A and B are shown apart, each in its own frame.
Chain A
Amino acid sequence: MAKRIDISGLNAYYGSFRAIEDISMAIEPRSVTAFIGPSGCGKSTFLRTLNRMHEVTPGGRVEGKVMLDDENLYGAGIDPVSVRREVGMVFQRPNPFPTMSVYDNVAAGLRLNGNYKKSELSDIVEKSLKGANLWNEVKDRLNKPGSGLSGGQQQRLCIARAIAVEPKVLLMDEPCSALDPISTLAIEDLIGELKERFTIVIVTHNMQQAARVSDRTAFFNLSAVGQPGKLIEIDDTERIFSNPSVQATEDYISGRFG
């Protein structure tokens, strides 16, 4: 059920400002693809074009093609809402719904998508929480508010909420940047497990993290502030971190800038 993503000629704009320019790449199913690059190079913007969240920003506009297997997400007659049900997302700051319990948070997406029987619902909630390695920590407090968990637990709760609806692709926008090292480790382990079932795309500022969790790495850069961000190269993670084909990539990963 994991799907391949093929992006070609993608441009994204904020009003008249072009944030990313002419990006083409392929993202393999059942693998982790990491986006790295300096701040402002458009990684997050690009990630948000993959589930049509970019258009939510006032003035946000996208040109180009994003093929999810053989369906163009930006094709005529495609409903952004149904795209987001196929492509899940985890955000930088853990954002469980503060007014909902742990259980209701995980069930939130399911309740949007259709009618489930109570028993089905609790089965899926349990499965998703187990899938997010959170079940043992919260099984006794499913009816407590989700905002009462620790930051790392909240982020795993958000992952459980995202995978509960069985998306084809899981996008993660710096999912560990607000977490402590132990919670980060837990999430990274989890990403390793989840890639068996989903296509995972992760934006990270932490190059070691990209090296640890990803199979493929894409390096983005911008020529100057105010210029659009571009894809410099995408390759196997090992190659990017040992022998990249572009000088700028090597400069970035060896810490010469960024």
Chain B
Amino acid sequence: MHRRLEPHAACGSADRRTSWTYPRKLLTLPPPPLRPPTPTRSPDADQKRAARGATRPGDRVFLGLSRGSGIFLLVIMAAIAVFLTYRSVIAISKDESNFLTTLEWNPTAAEPSFGIAVLVYGTIVSSIIAMVIAVPIAVGIALFITHYAPRKLGGPLSYVIDLLAAVPSIVYGLWGALVLAPQLIGLYGWLDDYFGWTGILDWQGGAPRSLFTVGVLLAIMILPIITSVSREVFRQAPQMHQEAALALGATRWEVIRMSVLPFGRSGVISASMLGLGRALGETMAVATVLSPSFEINASLLDPGGGTFAQNIASKFSEASEMGRDALIASGLVLFVITLLVNGAARMIIARRAEYSGANA
């Protein structure tokens, strides 16, 4: 082994020579004295740098930039978390009632009393309604574009869907309040007639500016993001697995069920989480459509309720110092809920990683 390598080293392959001389040098060097590190770097560090490809100026600049961007992101996240936590602690310590269960929002009273129960309920319920409506439709559209539609139709359709994402949320809000909400009266009556007995879909006949309408509007707003991510995932479903299903005598739907959907499963979950993130945090559209109140209705069709972002938007401009801190505390809760939702999604994806399309 050694003899065979000798000629290579002699004929000047630089890498090989250095890799052979390092160990010898290290062996003969006396143990380094304990002192602060000097500007001259150890050969080890040099080698590490070389392995990262950071020896040339261009590489160094790029490494610095990309590493800097990564650190910058972490710093920003930490700064937000610290700010939210600090102001929240101030507010919650002055809260005279339970922050989690109180059904009122009076941070400026002589005895401040405010709680997030209504906001948690409203945010989660409206987002769930949005997901229940949007995810199946988005998956359907994505499958239609990738596997059913002729190419001439699929292209323009994708474009229109993507365009929906570019509409500002205040425009959705105006449309929701002026067009969608009045149109939903018929549906509300029908739901009340047939499903009123459930209590959840009971309707007292008020203006349809309820969590249900908000959910429908949010569904439309998160449709494009879920559709376009799912579409890209379905488009990448391996041809060879689709052909495998076809060759077994699968119909088009069975091909989708056997090879496309399992492959796209984790992608659809990620897409849904992106959509859910938007639904949880949506502000202007909700604030425009919902007629808020600080109470929890069992019925989704009766007006009232509120969401975190809507509550902050509508109260922030007129809030006192204490009122702002209280709103910030509610913002922190939204932050935590979003984190939990994302964590749960990651767990769902990881649980079946063994079976994912990735190790095909």
List the one stretch of B118-126, B238-246, B288-296, B327-335 in contact with chain A.
Answer: B238-246
Q: Among B151, B247, B249, B263, which residue has the most Cβ atoms of chain A within 10 A? A: B247
Given contacts A98-B241, A145-B354, contact A53 B247 (CB under 8 A): yes
Assess whether B247 is in contact with A84, with CB atoms less than 8 Å apart: yes
Assess whether A56 is in contact with B243, with CB atoms less than 8 Å apart: yes
Assess whether B248 is in contact with A84, with CB atoms less than 8 Å apart: yes
Residues of A contacting B240 in the complex (Cβ-Cβ under 8 angstroms)? 91, 93, 95
Q: Which of A56, A100, A147, A148 contacts B246 (CB 8 A)?
A: A56
Q: Among A95, A112, A113, which residue has the most Cβ atoms of chain B within 10 A? A: A95
Q: Which residues 213-257 of B have a CB within 8 angstroms of A?
A: 238, 240-241, 243-251, 254
Q: How many A-B residue pairs have CB under 8 A?
A: 79
B355 interface residue, CB < 8 Å from A? yes
Q: Which of B245, B248, B249, B355 contacts A98 (CB 8 A)?
A: B355
Residue of chain A at shortest CB distance from B262: A99
B259 interface residue, CB < 8 Å from A? yes
B299 interface residue, CB < 8 Å from A? no
Assess whether A91 is in contact with B249, with CB atoms less than 8 Å apart: no
Residues of A contacting B356 in the complex (Cβ-Cβ under 8 angstroms)? 98-99
Q: Which residues 25-55 of B have a CB within 8 angstroms of A?
A: none
Assess whether B247 is in contact with A108, with CB atoms less than 8 Å apart: no
Q: Shortest 3 CB-CB distances between A and B: which pairs?
A: A85-B249, A99-B262, A89-B247
B174 interface residue, CB < 8 Å from A? no
Residues of A contacting B359 in the complex (Cβ-Cβ under 8 angstroms)? 98, 145, 147-148
Residues of A contacting B249 in the complex (Cβ-Cβ under 8 angstroms)? 81-82, 84-85, 109, 112-113, 165
A68 interface residue, CB < 8 Å from B? no
Assess whether A91 is in contact with B263, with CB atoms less than 8 Å apart: no
The answer for the CA separation of A56 and B151 in the assembled complex, in Å, is 14
Residues of B contacting A58 in the complex (Cβ-Cβ under 8 angstroms)? 151
The answer for the CA separation of A88 and B248 in the assembled complex, in Å, is 6
The answer for the CA separation of A93 and B243 in the assembled complex, in Å, is 11
Residue of chain B at shortest CB distance from A85: B249
Residues of B contacting A97 in the complex (Cβ-Cβ under 8 angstroms)? 241, 244-245, 258-259, 262
Assess whether B248 is in contact with A53, with CB atoms less than 8 Å apart: no
The answer for the CA separation of A97 and B248 in the assembled complex, in Å, is 12
Q: Which residues of A contact B (CB under 8 A)?
A: 51, 53, 56, 58, 81-82, 84-85, 88-89, 91, 93, 95-100, 108-109, 112-113, 145, 147-148, 158, 161-162, 165
Residues of A contacting B357 in the complex (Cβ-Cβ under 8 angstroms)? 98-99
Assess whether A145 is in contact with B247, with CB atoms less than 8 Å apart: no
Q: Which residues of B contact A (CB under 8 A)?
A: 151, 238, 240-241, 243-251, 254, 258-259, 262-263, 265, 352, 354-357, 359-360
- For this complex, 8 residue pairs linking A to B, each with C-beta atoms less than 8 Å apart, are A85-B249, A91-B240, A95-B244, A99-B265, A145-B359, A147-B360, A158-B244, A161-B248
Residues of A contacting B250 in the complex (Cβ-Cβ under 8 angstroms)? 81, 84, 112
The answer for the CA separation of A112 and B259 in the assembled complex, in Å, is 13
Given contacts A93-B240, A112-B254, contact A99 B355 (CB under 8 A): yes
Residue of chain B at shortest CB distance from A88: B247
Assess whether B263 is in contact with A112, with CB atoms less than 8 Å apart: no
Given contacts A81-B251, A165-B248, contact A53 B243 (CB under 8 A): yes
Residues of A contacting B247 in the complex (Cβ-Cβ under 8 angstroms)? 51, 53, 84, 88-89, 91, 162
Residue of chain A at shortest CB distance from B259: A97
The answer for the CA separation of A85 and B249 in the assembled complex, in Å, is 5
Residue of chain A at shortest CB distance from B352: A99
Q: Which of A82, A91, A165 contacts B244 (CB 8 A)?
A: A91
Residue of chain B at shortest CB distance from A92: B240
The answer for the CA separation of A13 and B265 in the assembled complex, in Å, is 35
Residues of B contacting A147 in the complex (Cβ-Cβ under 8 angstroms)? 359-360
Residues of A contacting B248 in the complex (Cβ-Cβ under 8 angstroms)? 84-85, 88, 108-109, 112, 161-162, 165
CB distance from B330 to the nearest CB of A (A): 41
CB distance from B153 to the nearest CB of A (A): 14
Instruction: A81-B251, A91-B244, A108-B258 are known; give 6 further A-B pairs, CB within 8 A.
Output: A81-B250, A84-B248, A85-B249, A98-B262, A145-B354, A148-B354
The answer for the CA separation of A97 and B244 in the assembled complex, in Å, is 8
CB distance from B345 to the nearest CB of A (A): 18
CB distance from A45 to the nearest CB of B (A): 14
The answer for the CA separation of A225 and B360 in the assembled complex, in Å, is 34
The answer for the CA separation of A75 and B80 in the assembled complex, in Å, is 69
The answer for the CA separation of A97 and B243 in the assembled complex, in Å, is 11
Residues of B contacting A145 in the complex (Cβ-Cβ under 8 angstroms)? 354-355, 359
The answer for the CA separation of A112 and B258 in the assembled complex, in Å, is 10
The answer for the CA separation of A99 and B267 in the assembled complex, in Å, is 14
Residues of A contacting B265 in the complex (Cβ-Cβ under 8 angstroms)? 99
The answer for the CA separation of A100 and B262 in the assembled complex, in Å, is 9
Residues of A contacting B238 in the complex (Cβ-Cβ under 8 angstroms)? 95
Residues of A contacting B360 in the complex (Cβ-Cβ under 8 angstroms)? 98, 147
Residue of chain A at shortest CB distance from B151: A58
CB distance from B348 to the nearest CB of A (A): 14
CB distance from A258 to the nearest CB of B (A): 26
Assess whether A84 is in contact with B355, with CB atoms less than 8 Å apart: no
The answer for the CA separation of A201 and B247 in the assembled complex, in Å, is 15
